Amino acid sequence: MDLANVLQLGIKEIRGLIRDPIMMGLILFSFTFQIYTSATSAVETLNRAPIAVVDEDQSPLSTRIIEAFQPPYFTEPTMISVAEMDRRMDEGLDTFALDIPPGFQRDLLAGKRPEIQLNVDATRMAQAFSGAGYVQSIIAAEIGEFQSRYRADTATAADLVLRARFNPSLNGGWFQAVMGISNSVTLLALILSGAALIREREHGTIEHLLVMPVTPLEIMVSKIWSMSLVVLLGTAFSLVVMCEWVLGIPLQGSMTLFLAGTALHLFATASLGIFLATVAGTMPQFGLLMMLVLLPLQVLSGAQTPRESMPQIVQDIMLAAPNTHYVILSQSVLFRGAGLDVVWPQMLALAVIGAALFAFSLRHFRGFLK
């Protein structure tokens, strides 16, 4: 393999990418706006959940309960009637609808156990799951303080000391932003490497390469290193500018170690993108293959939900996917500050999977050029 040929072919690929406004727009979007929206609009914590209240009691206790629902967890409670409660929830205006029955305070002071009805729109799963617990805690605290006539902490036999490590504020946006970068790396590595090959075929320049004194190995390596370099630079930019400066996420580990793991992941994923391009041949077919491959890779890698919650057979199968190890490496380095002594199994797995995918893709690439 002539390294000079690999260098010049790679520079040619970068120039072709720069002249493609669609691909450049996709890269810019993936490492800026997509990361920002992942951190700010798709968080799992309760934030400004709309709540409506039917106050049939009109008592000091019901007023106290209503005033306890305040931003940022909830919006200002909307006072409605019983007839409006179901209609508003059907229209999606409220996530929670609280109905305080008549005589609630009187029955409570009489030693009875009155009931409060809480309707929850469970289609809004993230808010419904955590918000119902918030509502119950708020109501229980206000009733307890009303009955005891003073505001005080409930005495318990044992104190539970909670220490949230790596994310002390329990901000889900931190996790979503970093995992958004991981998903963008996988997406762009597949698309850019595959599109670079398909672009050669659609523009008719693949025939020019075949008559030049270059080998299939040199052509494939040039496409992988050039597209991987673009994604690697975008990853570093997104971590520093978007995560640390714009979103204020404190990244704990070594940036150099993370980028080294990213390079191994790009080597494996870009090789897979070359293989998909040789199978597809045209951009529409390549897009359909991307849907079949990319979605399982991202959903089952552990970037969205913990791998431990998946069936064991899915966990075992996904160990053959490069981004599974990349997600583990990303979380260990960027969240927990892990070093090479901790993430070396993931680095080794990425190197082995990348070598296997590269050899497999090179075989098909040679057949593609014939």
DSSP labels, 111-128: T-----EEEE-TTSHHHH
Q: Is there a cis peptide before residue 72, judged by omega within 30 degrees of 0?
A: yes
Q: List own/partner pairs for 354-361 with CB under 8 A and 24 or more apart.
A: 354/264, 354/265, 354/267, 354/268, 354/271, 354/322, 357/268, 357/271, 357/272, 357/275, 357/322, 358/220, 358/224, 358/267, 358/268, 358/271, 360/271, 360/275, 361/220, 361/271, 361/272, 361/274, 361/275, 361/278
Q: In what order do the strands lie in the sheet containing 96-100?
A: 78-79, 51-55, 96-100, 117-120
Partners of 118 in the β-ladder: 98
pLDDT score for 66: 94
Task: Compute the Cα dihedral for 12, 15, 17, 22 and give only its sign.
Answer: negative
Angle at 239 (CA atoms; ends 233, 244), nearest 5 degrees:
145
Q: Map out the domains of the chain with their CATH numbers.
A: 3-42+171-369 (no CATH), 51-148 (3.40.1710.10)
pLDDT in tens, 50-63: 999 999 999 999 99
Kindly report the three-state secondary structure assignment for every residue of 323-347.
HHHHHHHHHHHHHCCCCHHHHHHHH
The pLDDT, as a whole number, for residue 127 is: 80
Reported as a single tens digit per residue, the pLDDT across 4-55 is 889 999 999 999 899 989 999 999 999 999 999 888 875 567 778 999 999 9
The pLDDT of residue 61: 93
pLDDT tens digit sequence for 76-85: 999 999 999 9
- Cβ(288)–Cβ(207) below 8 Å: no
The parts of the chain modelled with pLDDT lower than 70 are 42-44, 150-157, 370
- Give the integer Cα–Cα distance in Å for 150 and 152: 6
Cα separation, 258 vs 331, whole angstroms: 10
Distance of CA 255 to the CA centre of its chain: 20
d(CA 316, CA 54): 51
| pLDDT the model gives residue 154 | 55
Alpha-carbon gap, residue 235 to 251, rounded angstroms: 14
User: Taking a C-beta distance cutoff of 8 angstroms, is the pair 222, 6 a contact?
Assistant: yes
Q: How many CB atoms lie within 10 A of CB 255?
A: 15
pTM of the model: 0.80
Q: What is the pLDDT of residue 202?
A: 78
Element at 180 (helix H, strand E): helix 172-203
